[in-house]
Amino acid sequence: MLEVSLSGSLRDATDGAASIEIEARTIRELLRKLVERYPRLQSRIDEGVAVSVNGEIYRDNRDVPIPEGAEVFLLPRIQGG
Amino acid sequence: MAHDTSFTNQEFKVVGSRPPRPDGLDKVTGRALFGADTFAPGQLVGRILRSPHAHAKIRKIDTSRAEKLKGVKAVITSRDLPDLTNGNRGNFDILENCMARDRALYDGHAVAAVAAIDEQTARKALKLIKIDYKILPHVTDVDKAMAADAPIVQPHIRHDDKPSNIANVSEFGHGDVDAGFDQADVVIEKSYLTEQAHQGYIEPHACLASVGPDGQGELWVTTQGHFTFRNVCASLLGMDIAKLKVTSSEIGGGFGGKTHVWMEPVALALSRKANRPVKLVMTRDEVFKASGPTCSTSIDVKIGAKKDGTVTAASATLRYQDGAYPGPWGMLGAMTSWACYDFENVKSVAYDVLVNRPKVTAYRAPSAPMAAFAVESTMDLLAKEIGMDPVEFRIKNAAKEGTRASYGPTYGPIGIGPTLEAVKKHPHMKAKLGKNQGRGMACGFWFNFGGQTCTDLNIGVDGTVNLTIGTVDVGGSRASMSLIAAEELGIPYERIKCNVADTASLGHNDTTVGSRGTFSSGMATIFAARDAIDEMKERAAKAWEIEVEDVEWRDGCAHAKGVAHSNLAPMSLKEIAAASPTTGGPIAGHNEVVADGAGVSFASHICDVEVDPETGFTKVLRYTVVQDAGKAIHPDYVEGQFQGGAAQGIGWALNEEYVYGEDGRLQNASFLDYRIPVCSDLPYIDTVILEIPNPNHPYGIRGVGETSIVPPLAAIGNAVSNAVGVRLNHVPMSPPRILKAIKEKQAGL
């Protein structure tokens, strides 16, 4: 079981929940299950999100494995210049 | 195929050296082709008519007289760019920004365009287009735009269930800041303003577009991301992605400003209508008014600390103006604001606010310099209040491996502590200062990221190598990629020729943003080279009639392993290449990767200034950049990035600002009135490269392109404060502002 923390701007889509317990082995599975529970997250994911797993930020690679007990954050997608 | 991207701590033979840049000769002799330097038979000149109003309803556009003018081949309005975005608001915003529909949203917003046989005719045609505007109330100031009675820029945007200019609210942090402030011995609260600045790239936006009646098209363009331009343009114009070939020209500066399309869809639409190629080149006035500068901001900061220097709480409220379209800029300010520090109680709340100004886009570590100006200025104030050296104060509170970042995740190995220690020991910190001179320092952070990347490596029969990358070279990446390929293959740098491919020749590459070029294309180059080496080992095994498992690659040669093969002399890359026609044909390596794990970046800067108390003029006397590069592949280019970011930051800190009149029109859309620094304004910018390896890259590379613009605003503000005893809270710290602050201090205000 993972505890996923959400940054403030994404909490609108999770009825204000700041952290969510969920079972997932990859980022792809995590995002799918989050949308199953909070369908309004889909549009935010479509706009772009990033997932931090144990401190490493992943923007595109959905196949990243998530170790048991990992620190996981769902963040807005970051843009650079 | 997935590759292990972990840092391997290998020893380098070529990486880290400083060979001449492969594009240098072309650039200094004028042979390099930039956005405006290509021509096509029968090409037309495109020009865009822009709104002179900050906010106006477009009641009617009459193009009939322009269309009848001899030499005019096409006139377009928004009718020629129909909405094909299928409800995708982000794409619609891009479309509307390229060509206004029922309203002009800022001074300079495109409203019509022409293609004609020459410049004179095109300009004449623009004057013949008649537009019936109804002028609407406007707002250009971020704080005023948040007021309840402010004119609304985008009626579909709502906040608290009402139409509003507040497009997004973002919040980050952890702990309990109220409890933290209660524990503090000293609390400092301060408000700051930063004005809007432009990236100031010397090359204006320019392109040559050609769309045929068969729906196939080509676009030659100055851009940081030709694959993204292709996808966006094809989508807006209803074209197939595969039928639009985009070639990136040499780029005369981008810094984030060439990550978005501004007029390229207009050039393609003109060409489609005229059935002729169309060249469109922005004037400098258009670049300022109608491309994407960075935000102006209004920021409140509060920090509390104990007398021993431990920060107990920190909070920031950040208001970023996004121009006429929503962006992530306030959010990025909130995420970066406290990222250098390990605070138990920390909070940032950011507002992205719409105004009647051009759509904001990224500018080198977007949003971070303004937040750093507010935070680092307040950190200095607090250090002074508790009587602590500002460097020691920062060292005491610096983030480290295991710190939970203010924006959420826990850091791995990071460089903020080492940059501060390097600053502390640097001779610059001990140099004597004269009258009216002051020294300041400040820290900065940027995320860095990677993304989709695709690379080809082809070995010629003479043993030279074409390395084909898809990330636009904005800062010397062709040299760095060539070094990496030379390192892997074991051949001289001079035998590698690195090219940036067009969109028809390589798989998708994300735009060169987020300091990703060397990190991600470097990773793909390593694996493409290793792919080619695998093939060359096969060829050698075939020639030697031994098993490939008995072949290894060292020093640019295949070697047969084991006593049984000790009579086989090593076979060089050149020999394997020469034999390739009879051993299986061309030899190539390829890699596609989603390069994640870019590794965050930190910098600390030191600055000495002298302020003339009679005029308020500030001269930067000495400047030192200390930054973590992970691994400097070509140190000249790394130093160049450090120096370039600092130079841009110095210009922004002291002079650069968009000045809007009461009428909502930009007053200084030229380099005469918007003053970027020239060589005589700058000292030699000294650099210190630290190498704290990124654990997620085989060579340990971190991006280096952006972080260097983050600290200068605050470093200069702190130096000015130490020089003349006045704290400037408004960027740019131009002579009139400094003089006003000095006079107010003298008057005891």
Q: Which CATH number is A65's domain given?
A: 3.10.20.30
Note whether B209 and B268 are same-domain residues.
yes
Q: Which residue in chain B has the smallest CA separation from A72?
A: B409
Residue B122 belongs to a domain: yes
Note whether B660 and B720 are same-domain residues.
yes
Last residue of a domain, one of B595, B614, B643: B595
Instruction: Over range B606-630, report the average pLDDT.
Output: 97
Tens digits of per-residue pLDDT, B399-427?
A: 999 999 999 999 999 999 999 999 999 99
Residue A81 belongs to a domain: no
CATH number at residue B342: 3.30.365.10
pLDDT band at B2 (very low <50, low <70, confident <90, very high): confident
What percentage of chain B carries pLDDT values higher than 90? 98
Tens digits of per-residue pLDDT, B347-372?
A: 999 999 999 999 999 999 999 999 99
When scoring B91, B198, B448, B449 by the number of chain A Cβ atoms within 10 A, the one with the most, hence best to mutate, is: B449
When scoring B407, B414, B593, B704 by the number of chain A Cβ atoms within 10 A, the one with the most, hence best to mutate, is: B407
Written as one letter, the residue type at B297 is T
pLDDT at B74: 98
Decide: residue B127, CB within 10 A, 0-12 exposed, 13-18 middle, 19+ buried: exposed
Q: Which residues of B touch A56 (CB under 8 A)?
A: 409, 412, 596-597, 696
Q: Which residues of B touch A28 (CB under 8 A)?
A: none
Residue B248: name the closest of B20, B48, B428, B473 by CA: B473
Q: Give, in order, the Cα–Cα distances in Å from B700 to each of B15, B79, B296, B365, B629.
A: 12, 51, 35, 21, 9
Q: Please state whether the predicted TM-score (pTM) of the whole model is above 0.95.
A: yes
Q: Which residues of B touch A8 (CB under 8 A)?
A: 169-172, 349
When scoring A56, A62, A71, A73 by the number of chain B Cβ atoms within 10 A, the one with the most, hence best to mutate, is: A56
Last residue of a domain, one of B269, B290, B311: B290
pLDDT band at B77 (very low <50, low <70, confident <90, very high): very high
pLDDT at B29: 97
Instruction: Over range B431-443, report the average pLDDT.
Output: 98
- Count of domains in chain A? 1
Q: Which of A55, A76, A81 sits opposite B363 (nearest CB)?
A: A81
Q: Is B171's CB within 8 Å of A7's CB?
A: yes
| Placement of tokens 């935010």 in the chain | A44
Counted across chains A and B, CB pairs separated by less than 8 A come out at 102
Q: Is B594's CB within 8 Å of A60's CB?
A: yes
Say yes or no to pLDDT of A11 above 90.
Answer: no
Q: How far is CA B515 from the centre of its chain?
A: 7
Note whether B500 and B580 are same-domain residues.
yes
Last residue of a domain, one of B525, B560, B595: B595
Written as one letter, the residue type at B734 is S
Written as one letter, the residue type at B296 is S
Give me chain B's average pLDDT, please: 97
pLDDT at B33: 98
Q: Helix H segments across B454-587?
A: 477-489, 522-544, 573-578, 580-583
pLDDT at A56: 86
Q: Is A43 on the interface with B (CB under 8 A)?
A: no
pLDDT at B443: 98
Note whether B185 and B328 are same-domain residues.
yes
Note whether B610 and B713 are same-domain residues.
yes
3-state percent helix, strand, coil for chain A, nearest multiple of 5: 30, 30, 40
Say yes or no to pLDDT of B130 above 70.
Answer: yes
Written as one letter, the residue type at B227 is F
Tens digits of per-residue pLDDT, B450-471?
A: 999 999 999 999 999 999 999 9
Q: Which residues of A touch B447 (CB under 8 A)?
A: 57, 78, 80
Say yes or no to pLDDT of B115 above 90.
Answer: yes
- Count of domains in chain B? 4
Q: Which of A47, A73, A80 sits opposite B706 (nearest CB)?
A: A80
Say yes or no to pLDDT of B290 above 70.
Answer: yes
Tokens of B639: 């130093």
pLDDT at B555: 96
Note whether B181 and B283 are same-domain residues.
no
CA gap B331, B525 in Å, rounded: 33
pLDDT band at B381 (very low <50, low <70, confident <90, very high): very high
Residue B564 belongs to a domain: yes
Strands (E), B335-399: 346-353
CA gap B255, B401 in Å, rounded: 30
Q: Is A9's CB within 8 Å of B171's CB?
A: yes
Note whether B611 and B724 are same-domain residues.
yes
Say yes or no to pLDDT of A8 above 80.
Answer: no
Across B721-744, b (16+ Cβ under 10 Å) vs e yields bbbbebbbbbbbbbbebbbbbbee
CA gap B667, B729 in Å, rounded: 23
pLDDT at B748: 86
Structural domain including A33 reads: 2-76
Say yes or no to pLDDT of A62 above 80.
Answer: yes
Structural domain including B572 reads: 24-32+450-595
Tens digits of per-residue pLDDT, B150-206?
A: 999 999 999 999 999 999 999 999 999 999 999 999 999 999 999 999 999 999 999
Q: Is B594's CB within 8 Å of A61's CB?
A: yes
Tens digits of per-residue pLDDT, B706-747?
A: 999 999 999 999 999 999 999 999 999 999 999 999 999 999
Tokens of B13: 């033979």
CA gap B391, B441 in Å, rounded: 8
Tokens of B85: 């975005």
Instruction: Over range B35-59, report the average pLDDT.
Output: 98
Q: Is A77's CB within 8 Å of B328's CB?
A: yes
User: B541: distance to nearest CA of chain A, Å?
Assistant: 35
In sequence order, the 6+-apart residues with CB closer than 8 A to the CB of B9 are B693, B700
Say yes or no to pLDDT of B599 above 90.
Answer: no
Residue B579 belongs to a domain: yes
When scoring A59, A66, A71, A77 by the number of chain B Cβ atoms within 10 A, the one with the most, hence best to mutate, is: A59
pLDDT band at B749 (very low <50, low <70, confident <90, very high): confident
Note whether B389 and B429 are same-domain residues.
no
Q: Is B170's CB within 8 Å of A9's CB?
A: yes
Tens digits of per-residue pLDDT, B226-272?
A: 999 999 999 999 999 999 999 999 999 999 999 999 999 999 999 99
Q: Which residues of B touch A65 (CB under 8 A)?
A: none
Query: Please, are residues B397 and B341 in contact by the beta-carbon 8 Å criterion?
Result: yes
Note whether B207 and B335 are same-domain residues.
no
Q: Is A8's CB within 8 Å of B452's CB?
A: no
User: A71: distance to nearest CA of chain B, Å?
Assistant: 7
Instruction: Over range B1-29, report the average pLDDT.
Output: 93
Q: Which residues of B touch A46 (CB under 8 A)?
A: none
pLDDT at B134: 98
Tokens of B539: 């060829």
Note whether B609 and B631 are same-domain residues.
yes
Note whether B651 and B725 are same-domain residues.
yes
pLDDT band at A7 (very low <50, low <70, confident <90, very high): confident
Say yes or no to pLDDT of B1 above 80.
Answer: no
Note whether B337 and B479 are same-domain residues.
no
